[in-house]
């Protein structure tokens, strides 16, 4: 449905992105931020899904700065590789690439950001650091807690799993305390519950989170 294209960040770095466009005029744009597994099948399917919902969706390949064409699965070896790649990425580079992705969607109207796992944390920082977005949604972002004192410039919605082994509920509580205006939803599920390629997939929670995300987009993007 979508296709790969090349974007250029402010510092001249060229990187890949997957873009899917709706059949008619878009309601707006959505930057879909990858997990630690690259712009893989799941992320491309998410873009296709948002395009079906009427949004121009773009997933930037944020690992391109350290390795191109990263497309991992969800096994233990993939996890370890994804974590190793993520550890080599600097925040300022992630934000520069995100800004380029946001700017690339300006032709679609208002732009939102939605991120999953590592991308959930990226979505939070996009809301506090970047320009040109109207809202952000973060799914189980493990790196939100260290940046919980940053002030979002736009409305943010956060989703977490109650049994997420990688994000303690104390982190979620700390985020809620630091950001009382930010709606934080908890689901009876673990990390990655929205991904139907993962063993932790929880269909009911994924559906409810998606409904809430789309309602949030409808309100803040169009």
Q: 38 pLDDT exceeds 90?
A: yes
Hey, CA dihedral for 120, 122, 128, 134, is it positive or negative? negative
| Average pLDDT estimate for 21-48 | 98
Count of the separate structural domains present in the chain: 1
Which residues form the catalytic set? 117, 164, 191
Tell me which residue range forms the domain holding 90: 3-220
Report the 10 Å Cβ neighbour count for 207. Answer: 11
Q: What DSSP string runs through 134-181?
A: SEEEEES-TTSGGGTTSPPSS-EEEEEETT-TTS-HHHHHHHHHH-TT
CATH code, domain with 132: 3.40.50.1820
Q: Is the pTM of this model over 0.95?
A: yes
H or E element in which residue 111 lies: strand 111-116
Q: Please state, for a pLDDT cut of 70, what percent of the chain lies above it.
A: 100
| Average pLDDT estimate for 61-71 | 98
Grade residue 18 by pLDDT with cuts at 50, 70 and 90. very high
Hey, CA dihedral for 97, 102, 105, 106, is it positive or negative? negative
Mean pLDDT of the chain: 98
Q: Please state, for a pLDDT cut of 90, what percent of the chain lies above it.
A: 100
pLDDT at 182: 98
Grade residue 1 by pLDDT with cuts at 50, 70 and 90. confident
Q: 2 pLDDT exceeds 90?
A: yes
Residue pair 13/65 in contact by the 8 Å Cβ criterion: yes
pLDDT, one tens digit per residue, over 131-160 is 999 999 999 999 999 999 999 999 999 999
């Amino acid at each position: 449905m979508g296709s790969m294209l090349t974007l250029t960040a402010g510092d001249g770095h060229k990187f890949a992105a997957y873009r899917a466009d709706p059949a008619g005029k878009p309601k707006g744009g959505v930057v879909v931020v990858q997990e630690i597994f690259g712009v893989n099948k799941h992320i491309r399917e998410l873009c296709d899904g948002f395009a079906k919902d009427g949004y121009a969706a773009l997933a930037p390949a944020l690992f391109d700065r350290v390795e191109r064409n990263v497309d991992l699965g969800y096994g233990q070896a993939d996890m370890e590789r994804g974590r190793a790649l993520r550890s080599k990425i600097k925040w300022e580079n992630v934000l520069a690439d995100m800004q380029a992705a946001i700017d690339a969607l300006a032709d679609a109207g208002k732009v939102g950001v939605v991120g999953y796992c590592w991308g959930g944390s990226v979505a939070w920082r996009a809301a506090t650091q970047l320009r040109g977005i109207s809202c952000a949604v973060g799914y189980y972002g493990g790196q939100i807690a260290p940046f919980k004192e940053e002030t979002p410039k736009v409305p943010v919605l956060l989703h977490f799993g109650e049994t997420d082994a990688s994000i303690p509920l104390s982190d979620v509580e700390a985020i809620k305390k630091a950001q009382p205006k930010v709606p934080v939803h908890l689901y009876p599920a673990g990390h990655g519950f929205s991904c139907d390629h993962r063993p932790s997939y929880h269909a009911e929670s994924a559906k409810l989170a998606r409904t809430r995300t789309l309602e949030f987009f409808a309100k803040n993007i169009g």
